[in-house]
Structure formats: C-alpha cells, structure tokens
C-alpha cells in the first residue's frame, strides 16, 4: 500500500493525506468534549493530539492502513479511514470523526462513500467493520444509511476514561456494497 498517497475527490470534499499543518485542526476536533463524548478515548490534550496525528499518518507509512483528512471548502473538518487491517482475512476497521461545527449535514455519510469504494476495490477488503459505543446513535445512523448491519454487542469491549464499556459491532460486506 505505502507509496503515493491516494487523493479522493467528490463534489463537496477532498480526502487527502494529513500533514503537520493539520495539527491545529486535529487538536481542536479531538480536544472537543462533544466530538469525543461517545468515543473510547475521551478528549485529547494538545500533546496527545500531536501523538494522534503521528499515529494516523503512520498507518499509511507502515502499510498498516490509511487515514484521510476530510477537507471541505478548503478547511479540514475531520478524518476517516481504515486501521486494524487483517490482510489475510481481507477485512479492515473503519474509523472517522467530524468537527462538531460540521455535524448535522450528512457530511461523513457522503465522504465515506469513496472511502468504502477504495476499501473494497483497491484494498480488496471483503468485509469492513466498525465498533461503536452502544450509545453512539448518530454514528450508528450514519453506518446504517451506508448499508452496515449491526451484528451484536461486545461486552466491556473498550476501556474509556469512564471505565469499561460495551460496544456494538457493525459490518458491511463487499457483496452488499456492490448490490446497493
């Protein structure tokens, strides 16, 4: 995978490689109580955001996944991509988040369409999965609109600042995506 980073474009979004210049935007997004409320990390400090940006960028460099920066109107409004890849089983885990100011407009649902195409067609996944805190209804709604099915609840699956929490597992299969 590693090599020339693939830029994906839609009418509204440019999905491109994250750079050091994105630190301020990333720190604002991941430092937000609202954005991280239903994620397992909790809000990140500026120092943790530096580390997070490094980790997200390293996915591509280490051939371990890919994280795009989602740009809208010239501004970084979020990120999305694949991690926890199992090449042998042809599956990968989807992750994403959006700046709170950009919520409520269907942005992530739209930005994820070329990402899912890329996952199935270029990364050759047969299955894409996502794990959500059980109370993350907004995110579940996004996944369901894209055709993901909820498979079940994984008990005490993630350790958060509030303790162990249950997560729901969602999946989308390539054959279901092709038939949409």
Name the residue with tokens 């907004």: 138
Say what the alpha-carbon torsion angle 73, 142, 7, 1 is, to the nearest 10 degrees.
160
* Cβ-Cβ contacts under 8 Å for 88 (sequence gap 6 or more): none
Tell me if 108 contacts ligand COA by CB under 6 A: yes
Given 27, 49, 79, 136, the residue binding ligand COA (CB under 6 A): 136
Q: Distance between terminal CA atoms of the chain? A: 27
Residues 50-89, one symbol each (x = binds ligand COA by CB under 6 A, - = not), give: ----------------------------------------
Nearer to ligand COA, 59 or 142 (CB): 142
Alpha-carbon distance of 13 to 85, in angstroms, equals 25
Q: Cβ distance 171 to 128 under 8 Å?
A: yes
* Chain centre distance of CA 7: 16
Q: Which stretch binds ligand COA (CB under 6 A): 19-27, 92-100, 113-121, 167-175?
A: 92-100
CB of 81 to ligand COA, least distance (A): 11
What gap in Å lies between CA 103 and CA 21, rounded to an integer? 23
Note the maximum CA span of the chain: 44
Q: Does the footprint of ligand COA cover residue 96 (CB under 6 A)?
A: yes
- Considering the complex, what minimum distance in angstroms separates the CB of residue 3 from ligand COA? 26
**107 is an interface residue for ligand COA by CB under 6 A:** yes
Among positions 137-156, residues that touch ligand COA (CB under 6 A) are 137-139, 141-142, 145
Q: How far is the CB of 43 from ligand COA (least distance, A)?
A: 11
The three-class DSSP label of residue 148 is coil
Min dist. Cβ of residue 19 to ligand COA (A): 21
Angle at Cα 69 formed by Cα 130 and Cα 133, nearest 5°?
A: 25
35 binding ligand COA? (CB under 6 A)? yes
List residues near ligand COA by CB under 6 A.
35, 38-39, 95-98, 103-109, 130, 132, 136-139, 141-142, 145
């Amino acid at each position: 995978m590693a090599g020339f980073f693939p830029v994906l474009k839609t009418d509204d979004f440019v999905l491109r490689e994250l750079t050091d210049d994105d630190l301020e935007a990333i720190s604002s997004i991941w430092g937000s109580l609202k954005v991280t409320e239903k994620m397992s990390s909790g809000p990140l400090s500026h120092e943790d955001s530096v580390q997070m940006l490094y980790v997200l960028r390293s996915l591509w460099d280490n051939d371990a996944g890919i994280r795009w920066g989602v740009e809208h109107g010239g501004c970084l409004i979020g990120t999305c991509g694949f991690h926890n890849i199992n090449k042998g089983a042809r599956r990968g885990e989807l992750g994403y988040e959006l700046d709170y100011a950009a919520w409520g407009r269907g942005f992530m649902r739209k930005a994820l369409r070329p990402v899912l195409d890329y996952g199935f067609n270029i990364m050759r996944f047969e299955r894409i999965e996502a794990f959500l805190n059980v109370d993350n209804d907004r995110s579940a709604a996004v996944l369901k609109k894209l055709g993901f099915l909820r498979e079940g609840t994984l008990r005490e699956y993630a350790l958060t600042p509030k303790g162990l929490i249950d997560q729901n597992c969602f999946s989308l299969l390539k054959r279901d995506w092709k038939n949409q």
